[in-house]
Amino acid sequence: MSEAFVLARTEDKAVAHGMVTEELNAWYGRMHALRNINLTIEPRQVTAMIGPSGCGKSTLIRCLNRLHEVVAGARVGGKVLLDGVDVYAPGTDPVDLRRRVGMVFQRPNPFPTMSIFDNVVAGLKLSSRQGRQRMAEVVERSLKQAALWDEVKDKLNQPGTDLSGGQQQRLCIARALAVEPEILLMDEPCSALDPVATMKIEELMRSLREAYTQVIVTHNMQQAARVSDFTGFMLMAEDRAGELVEYGRTDQVFTNPRDKRTEDYITGRFG
């Protein structure tokens, strides 16, 4: 296992973490899903990936935490650098990577057999043996970061599924934050939520900016414009492979897109 990779993990939050993909390709069996993606995830910024359904946005971020390869027959080519180190280098362990690059999914998926408390520390318990006191501190900190603490602090022992959809999603965010990842990936985190819950999560993303590098996949352009600092626009090519059409600062992409296809998408001519 790559030594540099493990040692690069640091508890010092002053260090800012970023990712770069180099000629990233992905396949599901024989189907080419991503083609030659070259993308930079800037540290402590929110990067949004937008594009029509099926363009490969989700596949892309699942390549960033090596969740793509969990599907049978799935394959990746190219490099993904986390702070300069290729996470796909031979011998690199995905387990450690996934603690460092956290993910929140489209549909909230708290563990139904665990209480709210246990849900939050589910990932934490794997990697370290903490005392109850220390875990309680982590739970409080994570739930506060996820703006859920006030709503659940009196019912931490109740099942994680006893909450509304929006609350469940914030629970999942707290769970992801509890292991102190360096990068937080969010795959359409608000698409299953109502507008009020969505707003809360967008506020959450703004508040997390200081401490975390975030990547969000969204099919909602307005959300991307509201929340992100950088935006990448993807399209499905004729052979159904996803390509990165344009990438840049959000205000530039939305007001002055370089590519006509980007402009068409943003002005609603398709998608």
Partner 1 sequence: MSRSRLRTRKVTNAVMLGLCGLSAALAVIALLAILSYTVGKGLPAIGLKFLTSLPQPVGDPGGGIGNAIVGTTVLVALACGIGIPAGLLAGIYVAEFAHPRVAVVVRFVADVLFGVPSIVTGVFVYGLVVVAMGGYSALAGGIALALIMVPIISRTAEESLKLVPNTLREAGLALGVPLWRIILSVVIPSALPGVLTGIMLGLARVAGETAPLIFTAFGSRLNYKGVDEPIAALPLQIYRYAISPYADWQRQAWGAALILIVMVLLASVAVRLLTRKRSSNLGR
Partner 2 sequence: MKQENQQGGPQARFSLRSRLKSRGRRGEIIFITLAALAALALIGLVLLMVFELVTRSLPALQRFGAGFLTGTEWNPVTEKFGALSAIYGTLVTSLLALLIAVPVSIGAAVFLAELAPGSIRGTASFLMELLAAVPSVVYGLWAIFVLVPVVIGPAQQFLGDHLGFLPFFKGPNLGGFGILSGSVILAIMVLPLVTATARDIIRMVPDAQKEAMLALGATRWETLWKVVLPYGRSGIVGSVILGLGRALGETMAVTMVIGNSPRISVSLFSPAHTMASQIASEFSEATGGLYISALIELALVLFAITLVVNVIARLLVWKATGKFKTGGRS
Nearest approach in angstroms of CB 84 to partner 1 is 20
Nearest approach in angstroms of CB 111 to partner 2 is 6
What six digits make up the tokens of 239?
A: 């052979």
* Residue 246, SS3 per DSSP: strand
Q: In sequence order, which residues have a C-beta less than 8 Å from that of residue 218 and are 6 or more positions away?
A: 48, 49, 50, 188, 190, 191, 224
Asked if residue 168 binds partner 2 (CB under 8 A), the reply is yes
Asked if residue 109 binds partner 2 (CB under 8 A), the reply is yes
Nearest approach in angstroms of CB 6 to partner 1 is 6
Asked if residue 122 binds partner 2 (CB under 8 A), the reply is yes
Asked if residue 6 binds partner 2 (CB under 8 A), the reply is no
Among 76, 135, 172, 215, the residue binding partner 2 under the rule CB under 8 A is: 172
* Residue 143, SS3 per DSSP: helix
**Total number of residues binding partner 2 (CB under 8 A)?**
38
Q: Work out the angle at residue 241's Cα, subtended by the Cα atoms of residues 248 and 87, and round it to the nearest 5 degrees.
A: 65
Task: Using CB under 8 A, list all residues that contact partner 1.
Answer: 6, 93, 95-96, 99, 126-128
Closer by beta carbon to partner 2, 65 or else 223: 65
Asked if residue 127 binds partner 2 (CB under 8 A), the reply is yes
Nearest approach in angstroms of CB 103 to partner 2 is 4
Closer by beta carbon to partner 1, 6 or else 15: 6
Asked if residue 67 binds partner 2 (CB under 8 A), the reply is yes
Asked if residue 267 binds partner 2 (CB under 8 A), the reply is no
Asked if residue 164 binds partner 2 (CB under 8 A), the reply is yes
Q: In sequence order, which residues have a C-beta less than 8 Å from that of residue 37 and are 6 or more positions away?
A: 21, 23, 24, 25, 60, 78, 242, 243, 244
The entry of partner 1, partner 2, none that residue 166 binds, CB within 5 to 8 Å by partner kind: partner 2
| Cβ atoms of residues 26 and 77 within 8 Å | yes
Q: Helix/strand/coil (H, E, C) string of 182-224? A: CEEEEECCCCCCCHHHHHHHHHHHHHHCCCCEEEEECCCHHHH
Among 45, 47, 65, 223, the residue binding partner 2 under the rule CB under 8 A is: 65
Q: In sequence order, which residues have a C-beta less than 8 Å from that of residue 231 and are 6 or more positions away?
A: 47, 48, 49, 50, 224, 225, 247, 248, 249, 250, 253, 254
Among 27, 88, 105, 149, the residue binding partner 2 under the rule CB under 8 A is: 105
Alpha carbon distance 252, 255 (integer Å): 5
For binding to partner 2 (CB under 8 A), which residues are involved? 65, 67, 70, 72, 95-100, 102-103, 105, 107-114, 122-123, 126-127, 161-168, 172, 175-176, 179, 194
